[in-house]
Amino acid sequence: MSNKLFEQWTAGDRRKIAFVISGPSGAGKSAVINRVLTEIPDLAYSVSYTTRPCRENEQEGIDYFYISRKEFQRLLAQGDILEHVEYMDALYGTSKSHINRLFAQGVDVILNIDVTGANTLRTNDTLDFPLVYIFLTSPSLDTLRSRLKQRGTEDKEIIERRLAEAMREMEMIHLFDYLLINDSLEQTVAETKAIIIAERRRIRTWRT
């Protein structure tokens, strides 16, 4: 009797997955992602390019690749940016080469991008890896406002602009695979981990 069928499904390496986490600014995407990255093995963060300045608590190459508008345009023309948006007067874009490097290392990746960017990826049928779309939001607009205020990194006008943007983003929830309501960080981290673990076992990811 041949062992081929077993080998095909058990020895064969599964395709690596991109987990896309989107949702309003202030909903807690970064906090959830940071925890999940320390608790789930073989998962790495997709570091985006941005033209916005580095915040005090951030690091080059860890939170973002901070680049000029000119450099951003050059990478865009080169085809290294899978999707990009202009958000709050800055450009943000997903690095194709960075994600490919991570996949080559044998890990899944987790992206923290806005809803427009997630939608651009969703409608791009040339991507040759599985993507899972997770929408993360806070329980209410008031919670979002107080979380943005607590963060203390933005002034009042920017907070109001981010809230208006959040309302537009909430209208796109139906385009996502999963919805997480971040009431408690512990619970949301547990649910995100559950999604990742289940998606890694999905049959379609085992086909090369």
In the bound state with ligand 5GP, the residue whose beta carbon lies nearer, of 51 and 191, is 51
If one asks whether residue 36 binds ligand 5GP (CB under 6 A), the answer comes out as no
Closest distance to ligand 5GP from the beta carbon of 204 (Å): 25
Chain residue at closest Cβ approach to ligand 5GP: 117
If one asks whether residue 112 binds ligand 5GP (CB under 6 A), the answer comes out as yes
Q: Among 164, 191, 166, 193, which Cα is nearest to 180's?
A: 191
In the bound state with ligand 5GP, the residue whose beta carbon lies nearer, of 83 and 108, is 83
If one asks whether residue 94 binds ligand 5GP (CB under 6 A), the answer comes out as yes
If one asks whether residue 109 binds ligand 5GP (CB under 6 A), the answer comes out as no
In the bound state with ligand 5GP, the residue whose beta carbon lies nearer, of 14 and 52, is 52
In the bound state with ligand 5GP, the residue whose beta carbon lies nearer, of 16 and 29, is 29
If one asks whether residue 113 binds ligand 5GP (CB under 6 A), the answer comes out as yes
Candidate ranges 10-18, 83-91, 170-178, 192-200; the one touching ligand 5GP (CB under 6 A):
83-91
User: 161-170: which pairs have CB atoms within 8 A and are 24 or more residues apart?
Assistant: 161/88, 162/24, 162/25, 162/26, 162/88, 165/24, 165/25, 165/87, 166/24, 166/25, 166/26, 166/27, 166/141, 167/141, 168/115, 169/22, 169/23, 169/24, 169/114, 169/115, 170/24, 170/137
Q: Site for ligand 5GP (CB under 6 A): which residue of 20, 99, 108, 114? A: 114
Candidate ranges 9-17, 37-45, 72-80, 89-97; the one touching ligand 5GP (CB under 6 A):
89-97
Q: Site for ligand 5GP (CB under 6 A): which residue of 16, 72, 93, 196? A: 93
In the bound state with ligand 5GP, the residue whose beta carbon lies nearer, of 1 and 62, is 62
Report the interface residues with ligand 5GP, using CB under 6 A. Answer: 25, 29, 48, 52, 83, 85, 87, 92-94, 112-114, 116-117
